[in-house]
Amino acid sequence: MQLALGIDIGGTSTKLALVDKTGRITARSSFSTADRTGEGDFFKHLFASMDELLAGDVQLAGIAAGAPSANEQEGTIENAANLPFSPKVEFVKTVRGRCGVPVQLVKDSNASSLGEWHFGAAKGMKNFMLLTLGTGLGCGIVANGQLLGGEFGHGGEAGHVCVQPNGRACGCGRFGCLETYVSATGLKRTVFDIMANFMEDSPLRSTSYEDMTARHIYEAALAGDFLAKKAFVQTGEVLGRALADMAAWFEPEAIVLSGGLAMAGDLLFEPTISSLERHALAFHKGAKIKVLASTLGENDAALLGAAALVWKSKT
């Protein structure tokens, strides 16, 4: 049986999976990216993991990887802030040289979008957006049945649209970007804003900024904590308004939310949907634009999307 090898390169770990045509994962492996000393050390571990997975009677149809800062046209990973790499890493050339099968590289957010599109919440849709709410905010856009790449491969950076002029400082150098409000880090920043503006007691007050995580806030909100619940409501308000704007641009059938923050479920989805409804253009009101949770495991969307790319290029 032919199998595709999907790779998901992240700042913390790199995951690999063998995937059949139906999106079933038949074997998987992973190793730490953060512990690598450079791309040489990274490729050594990558090839060792691949050799292990491909041992025996595996017919490999192709390899595709999703990575941050991927230059899809060149097959390189460039200036990746969270990877222990030189400014330019020849990913496709290096892997193809070793394996002799077709190798492709896509942006991580596009890999996740392909996963949701072929095997997940957006299966069969012609127009949808995926927002990955993790440490930052990643985005993939499928419009008129095609993944939007942009003229230079940097299209769809929804995390860096300005939602608050002169707002919070963003890692990109601008102020008020969506991801400074709607991400795990953004949620934490909101909690500290609320702490300063309200007097209510909260167990969150005894946790330092460095130690606090989105999970602490989520658990406090579940336990009924005023500050934590308010932080989710404010986050949903900002997100919903941004989704109404995105609907005005792209009119997607659905917007799929994935990543750690989306796992908060109703705590995030309810205020988001209510805000979207309030801010949407008249012809988008009435729950026309669906807001859906990813149906793929948090760790699997990019792996399956990369594999889908292999199968797509075979047809």
Which residues sit at the interface with Zn ion, rule CB under 5 A? 160, 170, 172, 174, 177
The distance of closest approach from Cβ of residue 185 to Zn ion in the complex, given in angstroms and rounded to an integer, is 12
103: tokens are 């190798």
Q: Cite the beta strand spans of the chain per DSSP E.
A: 2-9, 13-19, 25-32, 59-67, 70-71, 76-78, 88-90, 103-107, 128-133, 137-143, 146-147, 254-258, 290-293
CA–CA distance, 277 with 209 (Å, rounded to integer): 33
Q: Which is nearer to Zn ion, 181 or 218 (CB)?
A: 181
Backbone dihedral angles phi then psi of residue 7, each to the nearest 5 degrees = -130, 135
CA distances from 130 to 87, 139, 188, 291, 292 (A): 28, 6, 22, 10, 9
Nearer to Zn ion, 36 or 160 (CB): 160
Of 174 and 284, nearer to Zn ion (C-beta) is 174
∠ CA 103-107-109, rounded to 5°: 130
Q: How far is the CB of 138 from Zn ion (least distance, A)?
A: 12
CA distances from 5 to 108, 179, 186 (A): 15, 31, 34
Q: How far is the CB of 276 from Zn ion (least distance, A)?
A: 22
Q: How far is the CB of 238 from Zn ion (least distance, A)?
A: 14
Q: CA distances (Å), 49 to each of 17, 31, 40, 53, 90, in order?
A: 10, 8, 14, 6, 19
Length of the chain: 315
Question: Under the phi-then-psi rule, with left for phi > 0, alpha for psi from -120 to 50, and beta for the rest, what region is 186?
Answer: alpha
Question: For Zn ion, which is the closer residue by CB, 34 or 172?
Answer: 172
Closer by beta carbon to Zn ion, 1 or else 169: 169
Residue 114's closest CA among 152, 65, 179, 61? 65
Enumerate the β-bridge partners of residue 18. Answer: 5, 27
Closest separation in Å from C-beta 175 to Zn ion: 8
- Name the residue nearer to Zn ion (CB basis): 180 or 272: 180
Evaluated on CA atoms 129, 131, 132, 137, the torsion sign reads positive
| CA-based nearest residue to 64, from 3, 12, 150, 11 | 3
Residue with smaller CB distance to Zn ion, 68 or 75? 68
Measured from the CB of residue 255, what is the shortest distance to Zn ion in angstroms? 20
Question: In this complex, which beta carbon is closest to Zn ion, that of residue 160 or of residue 230?
Answer: 160
CB 275, min distance to Zn ion, A: 21
Q: How far is the CB of 160 from Zn ion (least distance, A)?
A: 4
